[in-house]
Structures are given as structure tokens and as C-alpha cells.
Amino acid sequence: MGDMLIRGINPELKRRLEESARLNRRSLSEEAVVLIQKGFATQFAGAEKVGDRLYSLVGDDRFTNDEIQEIARSRSEADRGPPDFR
């Protein structure tokens, strides 16, 4: 993985990032990466399919190959209605 140095961060933004990292029990770098990923997922939400958005949030290391193949197969299925829990 590559490294990145971000300069000129507003002190309030840094404080909020530190607080978020503490609450989520992540390092400052881990929290920054998660928030950047979520930001991109939100930015492109209208153009992406739900599976693509989920994949962008969690990445390769969270899915098995079988799960990734199942997601790909489900993209060609007809839309289903919501489940009926009555």
C-alpha cells in the first residue's frame, strides 16, 4: 500500500478525525482511509450499483471469491420485490 501525507489540515477537522478514530477504535490513518472510502462511495452513489458501492466500502479482503462471484451472478437476475414478513 502507498503512503500519503496531507498538509494544511484545519485544526478543527483534525480534532474531529481524532475523535472519530478514538470512537471507532482505529488509528488516525485507518480512520482517514475509511472516511475517504465512504466519501468516494457517497460521491458516486448515483452512478454505481449497490453491490459496487458495498464493495468499495469493504474491499476485497472482506469477501471470499465465492461471494464475489455470487454478487456478479446476482447482477443479471431480475429485480425482486421486498420480502413479506407477515
Contact 16, 42 (CB under 8 A): no
Is 80 part of a structural domain of the chain? no
Q: Identify the domain containing residue 49 by its residue range.
A: 11-74
Report residue 73 as a C-alpha cell.
451472478
Structural domain includes residue 27? yes
The residue-averaged pLDDT of 6-14 equals: 93
Residue 40 within any structural domain of the chain: yes
The winner for highest mean pLDDT among 35-39, 50-54, 71-75 is 35-39
Residue 85 lies in a domain: no
Indicate if the pLDDT at residue 32 is higher than 90: yes
Note whether residue 82 is domain-resident.
Answer: no
Q: Residue 61's pLDDT is what?
A: 64
Q: Domain count of the chain? A: 1
Residue 79: inside a domain: no
SS3 category, 36: helix
**Whether pLDDT at 70 is above 70:** yes
